[in-house]
Amino acid sequence: MNNIRNFSIIAHIDHGKSTLSDRLIQAADVISERQFHDQVLDTMDIERERGITIKSQTICLPWKTKDGRTYFLNLIDTPGHVDFSYEVSRALASCEGALLLIDASQGVEAQTLANLYLALEHDLEIIPVINKIDLPSADIERVKGQIAEDLGLDPETALLVSAKEGIGIDTVFEAIINRLPPPKGDPEAPLKGLIFDSHYDAFRGTVVHFRVFDGTLRAGETIRFMSNRAAYKVEEVGYFQLERIPQKQLSAGHVGYLIAGIKTVSDTRSGDTITHRDRPCEKPMPGFKEAKPVVFSSIYPVASDGYEDLAAALEKLKLNDASLIYEKDTSAALGFGFRCGFLGLLHLEVVQERLEREYDLSLILTAPSVRYRLHLSDGSIVVVDNPTMYPDPKDIIGAEEPFIRSTIYTPERYMGAIMQLCLERRGINKTYQYLTSDRLEMVFDLPLAEVIYDFYDRLKSITQGYGSFDYELLDYRDTDLVKVDILLNGERVDALSMLVHREKAEQRARRACEKLREEIPRQMFKIAIQGAIGGKVIARTTVSAFRKDVTAKCYGGDVTRKRKLLEKQKKGKKRMKMVGKVQVPQSAFLSVLRTDSE
């Protein structure tokens, strides 16, 4: 066991974790020249397209030191974006140490701190690594200062690295071996393994990713999941390289996978403890804290018969995304679906994209909402994140909404624009401070609801991509909340209702009405589109009726063509939803619910 090191690479977004992983992987020679490409651990399409890591990835690197000893280094590359911090915290649970990367020109940023705290919670040994020292703007001395002051670590222990240029990689290996402790645990004790992730393989069932803390697991043995007592005979164990590498056994201290013909998706749960059926350990591991979703939205299949597929897809996705939370939901307009909780807006987008790509679904997502606290006249407090659960306004005497403290890093020249954006979004400026002569840290308290509505895109666009943004949840504050309904010919479209601040109600309602007007095709009758608070209409527009819909000539040679047209439109109709007598194309829902353009 002394030859094992389990560690994560953690950092703020874009500080170079995946690039450093690339260098370590190449140095350990587990990948051929031909197989290699940049950020090789970012295997998902969305990761590659967006250039960010979304999933933690484990890889086992065999490493021979100069004096001939062989080590097994289990590296876990983690995501830097705050929405995926649940991935980081679970990865850390199977490690003894962490490399904390800091971009030599950006310095310490919000997630640098947040991830350091996570690592300290797990009692990990931390190695600070100053990365990107090749950059002309690298300021190693300033970063060292921050490491001492902001992180409370010894700056003299920091490694100086350029992952991109491959500078200092040897020192990284040395530090991993000499400064990180080997795992503890007893290979002879009853088996105790912690599930930190899993994924579904269509042929082999659930592939469980776990860390062995005690005991030894061999292929052919029967295990039990301690939370639900489900038992399975293990077909295969092994560790991860770029593929799965089967082994005879995994013993205490190792990180790897098991396959046991698990087809019941719900049996496997992140945080659960694996033990032997016949020689169980005494107590399960403490597992993980529940992920706390902050953004909520309902997901519906576009196809009216797509509910079962969606249910199956969510269950499988949940295996690989432990932070996803969902329960059944229904809508008069959209049918059966799921109310889902997300760790942030990016998380929401990623879930949508993964469902659509990996499970080939077409989806409609309702407007993202935060969780409000409503004080009712009977003295009770209800928590509402779904407009359809909004109580009768007569009974509501007060409302509170979640606030965040956001930290924005920006070149000085965008300060004014950012100030304006945040004030528009009901933000309160707390502080600002110059990091360098032209770089600024601005701190705002903002309603989370304003941030999940098109904030990040706006910030990126007004700062031309230079602004970075991070937040932490702060507290709940009083708010003036209303529920805006959207009506088509007087009929409420439940899936389009939204909870918004009164000041924003009219603008949001008008925008929704406009989008609907653009997307709803003319029909035989006039369609009134209205936005309303209770009975009071605050926005309205109309789609005029078409005046004829008739083919002038239809003789022998025209019949087939006409029939084909009708058949084609019928197919398209499957994507139409009925609201009363009005046919609403799903594109209309998508367009209203998309928040990107204002």
Partner 1 sequence: MVKEAFPIFDTLYIGGGTPTAMADRLLVRILEKAGSVFFFTDDPEVTVEANPGTVSKEQLDWLRQAGINRINIGAQSFRDDHLRFLGRIHTAREAENSIRLARGAGFADIGLDLIYGLPGQTEKAWIEDLAKALSFFPEHLSCYMLTFEKGTPLFADLAAGRVELCPEDTVAALFLKTSEFLRASGYLHYEISNFARSARLRSRHNRKYWTLAPTLGLGPSAHSFLNKPPTRWWNVDDPEIYLKTIEGDKRPVKETEVLTEAQSMTETLFLALRTADGIDTAAFDRRFSVSFDRMFGKLVSELTADGLLYPRGGRWAPTLRGMQFSDAIAQRLIDRI
Shortest Cβ 582–partner 1 spacing (Å)? 13
Q: How far apart are CA 521 and CA 205, in angstroms?
A: 45
3-class DSSP assignment, residue 9: strand
Q: Which two tokens stand for residue 570?
A: 């019928």
Q: Determine which residue in the list 6, 8, 18, 247 makes contact with Mg ion, applying CB under 5 A.
A: 18
Q: Which of residues 144-183 bind ligand GTP (CB under 6 A)?
A: 162-164
Nearest to partner 1 of 254, 577 (CB atom): 577
HEC letters along 482-511:
EEEEEEECCEECHHHCEEEEHHHHHHHHHH
Please list, in sequence order, all residues whose beta carbon lies within 8 angstroms of the beta carbon of residue 98, skipping any fewer than 6 positions away. 7, 8, 9, 10, 92, 119, 124, 125, 126, 127
- Identify residue 435 by its one-letter amino acid code: L
* Total of chain residues touching partner 1, rule CB under 8 A: 24
Q: Is 152 in the site for partner 1 (CB under 8 A)?
A: no
Q: Which of residues 514-553 bind partner 1 (CB under 8 A)?
A: 523-524, 546-553
Site string for partner 1, 474-513 (x = CB under 8 A): ----------------------------------------
Name residue 583's beta-bridge partners: 578
Q: Is 53 in the site for ligand GTP (CB under 6 A)?
A: yes
Q: Determine which residue in the list 535, 570, 596, 597 makes contact with partner 1, applying CB under 8 A.
A: 570
Give the number of other Cβ atoms within 10 Å of residue 271's Cβ.
18
Q: Determine which residue in the list 203, 379, 557, 597 makes contact with partner 1, applying CB under 8 A.
A: 557
Helix (H) or strand (E) run with residue 73 in it: strand 70-77
Q: How far apart are CA 210 and CA 203, in angstroms?
A: 20
Q: Is 52 in the site for ligand GTP (CB under 6 A)?
A: yes
CA dihedral defined by 87, 360, 300, 268, rounded to 10 degrees? Answer: -40
Q: Is 437 in the site for partner 1 (CB under 8 A)?
A: no
Shortest Cβ 67–ligand GTP spacing (Å)? 29
> Hey, CA dihedral for 20, 23, 25, 28, is it positive or negative?
negative
Q: Which of residues 514-553 bind ligand GTP (CB under 6 A)?
A: none
What are the φ and ψ backbone dihedral angles of 550, each rounded to 5 degrees?
-155, 145
Shortest Cβ 53–Mg ion spacing (Å)? 3
Q: Determine which residue in the list 4, 7, 8, 15 makes contact with ligand GTP, applying CB under 6 A.
A: 15
Q: Determine which residue in the list 132, 144, 483, 504 makes contact with ligand GTP, applying CB under 6 A.
A: 132
Site string for ligand GTP, 76-115 (x = CB under 6 A): ---xx-----------------------------------
Q: Determine which residue in the list 13, 30, 44, 53 makes contact with Mg ion, applying CB under 5 A.
A: 53
Q: How far apart are CA 330 and CA 432, in angstroms?
A: 45
Q: How far apart are CA 130 and CA 162, in angstroms?
A: 8
Nearest to Mg ion of 27, 189 (CB atom): 27
Q: Is 275 in the site for ligand GTP (CB under 6 A)?
A: no
Interface with Mg ion (CB under 5 A): 17-18, 53
Interface with partner 1 (CB under 8 A): 523-524, 546-557, 559-560, 562-563, 566-567, 569-570, 573, 581
